[in-house]
Structure 1
Amino acid sequence: MSGSFNSASFTTDVPNRLDRLPWSRFHWLVVVALGVTWVLDGLEVTLVGSLAGAIRESPRLQLTETQVGLTASAYLLGAVSGALFFGWLTDRLGRKKLFTLTVLVYLVATIATGFSWDFWSFAVFRFFTGAGIGGEYSAVNSAIQELIPARRRGTTDLAVNGTFWGGAAAGAASSLVLLDPAVIDPELGWRLAFGVGGALSLSVLLLRRFIPESPRWLMTHGRNAEAEKIVGDIEEWVAREKGPLPPVTGSPIRIDPRSHTTLGEVARTLFRTYPQRAVLGIVLMACQAFCYNAVFFTYALVLTRFYGISSAHIGWFMLPFALGNLAGPLLLGHFFDTIGRRIMITATYGLAGVLMAVTGYAFAQGWLSAWEQTAAWTVIFFFASAAASAAYLTVGESFPLEMRAMGIALFYAFGTLVGGVVGPALFGVLIEGGQRTDIMWGYLLGAALMLIAAGTEWKLGFAAEGKSLEDVARPLSQAAE
């Protein structure tokens, strides 16, 4: 059964008007107010990574290495659940309502984490923190892609996703202070660290008041007058800064509006209309999720167990790692709009996979010091970070507007469930075993998955650079010509 229709069809040039706008302060506002999601996620992941030793040594929690890995998996399970539930709501109720609700869920849960008293309370609070972040990915990715001009979509999306590592750097830096016994009791310090994200999210709520609902979402839901007004307001804002706007190019599209899209339509679109894109999205998301989460969630445990690094100094090793990850999408992002998606995604996944295999072998042989190991990961994830960001870009562009949030949620959920939940738990067990060769096999598995993803992109990748979202994937509500 198709989504129910809610008004008569109409013709609109809303997408063309948005895509022809020059870059302006409005677009910077969108990037900052919505893109902070990745900063928050990076902050959360790095805090737990940097604080893993202190949390494990906490006299109240008394967690084993396996339990630390399991709490990372709890966060990711929450992200999966949040992405699916809030992604479904985002396509039905709109982008703006949901990116406000999800940041509130995150705010409450991350502060509550600081009050954990045992393994189960810590795991539950991490689950709901992840739920807020997972919901953010669906709502925010949709809104950003629908508001950013087509010619800058790849560069912007990679840069925004890359800011995860700005949050990671902030988390690493804050851990250096909050875990320093000379400054504060580490038992109190790791608890206070979870308040950093809560404080940042309060400012996010203020900024998001100025972000409008996506005109593209309004358009497909029969609210064309509202869509036209919002686009007009954006054009006035941009024109005041940039002067006369370029003429609108391209043909208008005719919309048969609908109130919602059913799960049956989502399934048919994924596996009948775009089966190759569905396979590509699954592979890209799952492979990068395993690689990233397996390494990053447990790196602090590797440093403490195999290199003898104290918990208070973990942040010094996380900081360059995070900065290398941040640099990748920022420096490579524009090539995804110029050289093209297929070549760049294949290259970044492939390079990351080869370098990870070499580094995993070197680790097993004991050839690397703690700093050399960190330098190797920094280089590897310079490329892997751009690859992972491109995976989110790909799944957002691949499918029609009416199911964009749900599509992002489904692929994020599947990739995270397969790659992200299994990875940290597996590596937690391997690290607890205490054998370098066991961990090497985990690294080689991650390398193999990245190479598989590179080959899949080369085979199934498609050109989306510079194209309108409606040209990449025809809206379900677009009337037949």
Structure 2
Amino acid sequence: MKPDVQSGTWIESDVPPRLDALGWSRWHRRVVIALGITWILDGLEASLIANLAPTLQHADTLALSGAQIGLANTVYLLGQVAGALGFGYLTDRLGRKRLFLVTLGLYLVATALSGVAPTYEVFLGFRLAAGAGIGGEYAAINSAIDELVPARVRGQLGLAINGSYWVGVAAGAGLTLLILDPSILPMDVGWRVAFGMGALLGFAIVLVRRDMPESPRWLLNHGHVRAAEATIERIEAEVHGPGADVKVEVTRVKIKVHGPVGPRHLLATLFRRYPRRAVLGLVLMIAQAFLYNSIFFSYGLILTEFHGVSADDVGLYIVPFAAGNFLGPLLLGRRFDTVGRRIMIPATYALSGLLLLATGGLFLAGWLNATTQTIAWGVVFFFASAAASSAYLTVSELFPVELRGMAISVFYAIGTLVGAGAPTLFGAIVDTGEPSRLFAGYALASAMMLAAAVVARRLCVDAERRSLEEINADAQTA
């Protein structure tokens, strides 16, 4: 599609404020479900691996060690990094919509094939590809959602969507409780079926996404003015109903058409134009990635090795843990739009770090069993989940539309690369069987969260209830 306006041209448009002025509707809910399902898929994947970990150590399956399971998780995370960087670049050049089906299709195929892997090496290859699909989803989906939903609920909605990761975790836990029951399926079959169920969910989402629109903000930024206006008219018709004549007074904004941009523009924007925001995004993403990858991917191993939980029963403990993680962003999310980012982001990071350190101390003292360990983790991650979700919200809303996908992918990639070693580290720690070493790992993750809280308090941007154009100074009031 040839643009109506060339790069470098300033245009006036009422499309962004019209998007922000829309009342919440069935159309918005459909967009959130169709696009936000990515987080549920990722949670399902993580849950499957965490709950399958003890089963995959069995001689009737792949007979993996704790370190090998940790490496498989690390490979999956590295795949997410590669997918985020590659597809993040493409979504800024080609549009949000074009990437929806490609990234989802890659995930679907790779996950299904993970379940038929004959050897550990082949299994690693499929985990890498599945991770690439999910990593690519993050860049395109988070960009599109932020660009489509009204500014007044962006924080609340962003946290709720990111928190839906834990719906996938709970679903994966419940799924494995049934599939890994040897009275239902043989052990060497159940783990393969578990991956097949993830692929089936991915296929169902393909059908839902087909009618999703391109982001009008992306269209404007690439000079497709008429397409952007036609898209907002279709959206308004769906929101208000056919034949409705609803006119809303909005102020037109001036927008610079950039067209496709490359890494040089990205680096200049991040580190020359917005260096404080870049530091904030890096610190928030690194801290939460290390915390989550260290605790969650070793969750099943800790329950079996230190608390004597049967591999078949690990899912029972994952479900309440996932519930706490989901409820945190859901119940605290509104505060990010009312109390504000500058207070809520550092508060959730600080509480997460302090509570994790306290939990580690109780574990080291031998005062926790499987049930109380799960309760303690649930309290920690009620706040940590909101903190992690706010990190994704921050890197998505604080940078301009022409590089939003790349910005998300870069911060996500750096955070994930730092956190990618955590599953291998904690897998090796669990293999030692020494509680003191596990406590040291907890202390490291806690220190990173507390440091992030300090940085957030100094560098957070008051982005609540403000349009993306206002936040990024890419539009001026006409």
TM-score by length of 2: 0.97
1:153 to 1:117, Cα distance in 2 relative to 1, 3 A: same
Structure 2 match to 1:68:
69
8 A contact 1:287–1:449 mirrored in 2 = yes
Q: CA deviation at 1:239?
A: 1.3
Match of residue 442 from structure 2 = 443
1:205 corresponds in structure 2 to: 206
The match for 1:120 is 121
Q: Give the aligned partner of residue 194 of structure 2.
A: 193
| 2:132 equivalent in structure 1 | 131
Partner of 1:468: 467
Shift of 1:248: 3.1
Q: Percent identity?
A: 50
Partner of 2:294: 294
- What are the equivalent positions in structure 2 for 1:233-312 lying under 5 Å apart? 233-240=234-241, 245=246, 247-255=248-256, 257-312=257-312
> What displacement does 1:242 show?
12
Structure 2 residue matching 1:151: 3-state secondary structure? helix
Q: Deviations 1:93-147 (Å, cap 9, x if unpaired)?
A: 0000001110000000000000112221111111111100000000000000000
Which residue of 2 is the match for residue 323 of structure 1? Answer: 323
Query: Aligned AA for 2:451?
Result: I
1:19 aligns with 2:20: yes
CA-CA distance at 1:474 after TM superposition = 2.7
Tell me which amino acid in the other structure corresponds to 2:396. G
Q: Which amino acid aligns with 1:17?
A: R
Looking at structure 2, the residues matched to 306 and 8 of structure 1 have their Cα atoms a distance apart, in angstroms, of 63
Q: Deviations over 1:67-112 (max 9, x none)?
A: 0000000000000000000000000000000011100000000000
> Which residue does the alignment assign to 2:395?
395
Q: What is the DSSP-based 3-state SS (H/G/I as helix, E as strand, rest coil) of the residue aligned with 2:241? A: helix
Q: Is the 8 A contact 1:287 1:415 kept in 2?
A: yes
CA distance in 1, matches of 2:105, 2:465: 34
- For the structure 1 residues 434 and 154, does the alpha-carbon distance in structure 2 shift closer, same or farther, using more than 3 Å as the test? same
Cα distance between partner residues in 2 of 1:280 and 1:223: 33
Q: Deviations along 1:162-221, whole A, 9 cap, x unmatched?
A: 100000000000010011111111221111001111111111111111210000000011
**Which AA in structure 2 matches 1:474?**
A
The one-character-per-residue Cα deviations of 1:358-404 (angstroms, maximum 9, x if unpaired) are: 10111111110100000000111011001000000000011111000
Mapped to 1, the partners of 2:97 and 2:460 lie a distance apart of 31
Relative distance call for 1:58 and 1:21 in structure 2 (3 A) is farther
In structure 2, what is the equivalent of residue 152 of structure 1?
A: 153
Task: Output the amino acid matched with 2:228.
Answer: A
d(CA) in 2 for partners of 1:472 and 1:355? Answer: 33
User: Any unmatched runs of 5+ in structure 1?
Assistant: none
Alignment of structure 1 residues 429-440 onto 2, 5 Å: 429-440=428-439
| Contact kept in structure 2, 1:146 and 1:214, CA below 8 Å | yes
> Can you give the 5+ residue segments of structure 2 that lack an aligned partner in the other structure?
none
Name the SS of the counterpart of 1:333 in structure 2: helix
Amino acid at match of 1:215: P
Distance 1:263 1:385, change over 3 A: same
Number of equivalenced pairs: 474
The answer to whether the 8 A contact 1:39-1:167 is kept is yes
Q: CA deviation at 1:8?
A: 5.3
Cα displacement (A) at 1:258: 3.3
8 Å contact kept, 1:60–1:117: no
| Contact persistence 1:13–1:252 (CA under 8 A) | yes
> Is 1:230 matched up with 2:231?
yes
- SS at 1:17 equivalent: helix
Query: Which amino acid in the other structure matches residue 220 of structure 1?
Result: N
TM-aligned CA distance change 1:288 to 1:241, over 3 Å: farther
CA distance in 2, matches of 1:109, 1:333: 33
Q: Does 1:39 align with 2:22?
A: no
Aligned partners of 1:340, 1:208: CA distance in 2, in Å? 32
Change (3 A) 1:74 1:242: farther
1:369 aligned partner, one-letter code: N
Contact in 2 for aligned 1:16/1:248 (Cα 8 Å): no
CA distance in 2, matches of 1:138, 1:74: 19
- Structure 1 residue 6: Cα displacement: 4.5
* Contact 2:169–2:319, Cα closer than 8 Å, also in 1: yes
Using structure 1 for the length normalisation, give the TM-score.
0.96
Residues of 2 paired with 1:174 and 1:55: CA distance?
A: 16
Task: Give the superposition deviation at 1:342.
Answer: 1.3
- In structure 2, the partner of 1:178 is 179
Q: Hey, what's the Cα distance between the residues in 2 that align with 1:198 and 1:34? A: 16
Judged with a 3 Å threshold, the aligned counterparts in structure 2 of structure 1 residues 180 and 149 are, in CA distance, closer, same or farther, namely same
The AA in structure 2 aligned to 1:350 is: A
**2:12, 2:88 → 1: CA distance?**
27
Quote the Cα distance in structure 2 between the aligned partners of 1:56 and 1:106: 24
Q: What is the alpha-carbon distance in structure 2 between the residues aligned to residue 380 and residue 7 of structure 1?
A: 48
Distance, in Å, in 2 between the alignment partners of 1:44 and 1:380 is 22
**Equivalent-residue separation in structure 2 for 1:96 and 1:248 (angstroms):** 29
1:59 deviates by 2.9
Q: Which stretch shows the higher mean deviation, 243-252 or 232-241?
A: 243-252
Whether the 8 Å contact between 1:21 and 1:246 is mirrored in structure 2 is no
**Aligned counterpart, 2:367:** 367
CA separation of 1:70 and 1:242: change in aligned 2, threshold 3 A? farther
Cα-Cα RMSD: 1.6
Distance 1:457 1:243, change over 3 A: farther
How far apart, in 2, do the equivalents of 1:351 and 1:379 lie? 10
Deviation at 1:278, TM superposition (A): 0.4
Q: Which amino acid aligns with 2:458?
A: K
